Structure 1
Amino acid sequence: MTDYQLKVHAESFGAVAAEYDRARPSYPIELLDTIEELTGRPLKGATVLDVGAGTGIATRLLRARGALVTAVEPSPGMAAQLHAVSPEIPLVKGDGNELPFHDATADLISYAQAFHWTEPDRSIPEALRVLRPGGALVLFWNLKDRSLPWLAEQEARLSAALPSYHYYGLMNAVTEPLGRYPFEVHNRVLRWERRITVEDVITDLRSKSYFAVAEPALRESVLAEERAALLEVFPDGEVTEPYSVDLTVAVKRD
């Protein structure tokens, strides 16, 4: 994907913020446990910047754990949805390439489904600048388990139908650049699943950037075909989606 295409995709989420908040998956509680294990400190009382917070799905989990969390989000549409749902969460306009915070002010900087929208040569030094000694950069993604036939078949259909379809296999891509900086890097994979309806799957797909940037006629045609394909596999309309959470925790060396 070119830089221009990346920018277009990144800016597409505002128009689908409601769908994103309604249908995107949350995260298992084990994720927060593992973050605490790998950082060596509790989230409760920690100063956290959740960058690329979107509609606040991960932000709310961090806050519920007791973190003093500020959401950082560049998209006005996504930020508006976050504020509408969670007005109590402090919210700052910004992105990871140029964090609007002073040096050494955060215990943890998190990116949920968001680090791949940054430029690592800018966002990693920015994280180092803003993190306190011993603080951590925490990156995680929910990834569907495409070893299942129905999910592999879905990926093949979407890849064939949508010119800008993309799927991220992310952990190795982020670990390599982190290794060039003064971090102690840990990786984990956590597995979980959720049960949702076929219509929820369609809403989730509608919130993807490769659907948001598609021509409306193409988007609706592909979604209709996908609904029909899913109902063939799940005639009762109930879908079990298996996920892995790819987690990278990079602790800043003192």
Structure 2
Amino acid sequence: MSFGESASIYNATRLSYADEVVDRVAEVLGATRGRSILDIGCGTGIATRQLAARGFRTVGTDVDADMIEEARAVGEAGRYQVADASRLDFADAEFDGATAFGAFHWFSDEASVRSIQRVLRRGAAFVVVNKNDVGDFRESIVEIVSGHVALGNARPKLDYQPAKTLGAFGFEAVEEAAIPVIEHLPPTQALAHVRSMRLWEEVPPSLHDTVEAELRSYLASQLDACGNFQRRLSVAVVWGRKP
């Protein structure tokens, strides 16, 4: 199963980015209405729509056609297209900025970074955003699932250093900020979030009920007084500018 086959689950369960995160990104991009922004690895367009709501002219791209199909179903269809980050089909210096929300670890290679830089105007920022668990949510999920399945790619962000990557492949004035965020997830949404993770694709259907029962037990033990699971995050915002 491809990641995109989980697109409807992904769109229904993944939370939007906190206002303070999107505000910081907008500030870096230059919060002027009408600026053209390329959102790369946009998935179902969650962050693309948040940027559009702040007045940016956004174009979302993703390599996964199912994700783009879901994005088009939810938002403005013409805003999205299937594209590989390493071979962006846009003119040189076409965009006033670019973003990658929760996706850059999948295409943080030289070919992709230089492709992104090519389509930006001089001085334009490329902003990378990642939700990093401060608590043990992800590690607990990995431990539970790996108790039933030998996971092939449980930690895709291992050795991932976006600031170093941007600097190594041509961006200048690289900066980084960390924004603390707490997501409050009802148990059903927390469980659905796990099913939207790439590692879930490695769980055979015959084991779904067994693994989900163990996940429910873990989540039930972690609920706050309001009956929600608190996912504590440090959201990293990293950016550099095209020289």
Pick aligned residue for 1:215 from 204, 212, 219? 204
Give the Å deviation of 1:172. Answer: 5.7
The equivalent of 2:144 in structure 1 is 157
The equivalent of 1:56 in structure 2 is 45
| Residues 1:19 and 2:9 aligned together | yes
The count of corresponding residues between Structure 1 and Structure 2 is 240
AA of the residue aligned to 2:50: L
Over 3 Å counting, the alpha-carbon distance change for 1:85 and 1:38 in structure 2 is: closer
Give the Å deviation of 1:27. Answer: 0.8
The equivalent of 1:8 in structure 2 is none
Q: Secondary structure at the match of 2:183?
A: strand
Give the Å deviation of 1:14. Answer: 1.3
Contact 1:183 1:251 in 2 (8 A): yes
Contact 1:211 1:219 in 2 (8 A): no
Q: Structure 2: where are the runs of 5+ without partners?
A: none
- Residues 60-79 of structure 1, C-alpha deviations (whole Å, 9 max, x = no match): 10000100001112212111
Distance 1:172 1:152 in 2: 17
Q: Structure 1: where are the runs of 5+ without partners?
A: 1-10
Pick aligned residue for 2:105 from 106, 116, 119? 116
Alignment of 1:55-204 (within 5 A): 55-87=44-76, 90-146=79-135, 152-162=139-149, 163-167=151-155, 169=157, 173-180=161-168, 181-204=170-193
Give the alignment's Cα RMSD to 1 decimal.
2.3
- Residues 207-244 of structure 1, C-alpha deviations (whole Å, 9 max, x = no match): 11110232112343212210122113328742222222
Give the Å deviation of 1:122. Answer: 0.7
Give the Å deviation of 1:22. Answer: 0.9
Give the Å deviation of 1:250. Answer: 1.0
Distance 1:50 1:130 in 2: 12
AA of the residue aligned to 1:93: V
Q: Secondary structure at the match of 1:234?
A: coil
| Residues 1:238 and 2:228 aligned together | yes
| Residues 1:227 and 2:216 aligned together | yes
Distance 1:91 1:151 in 2: 30
Distance 2:78 2:229 in 1: 32
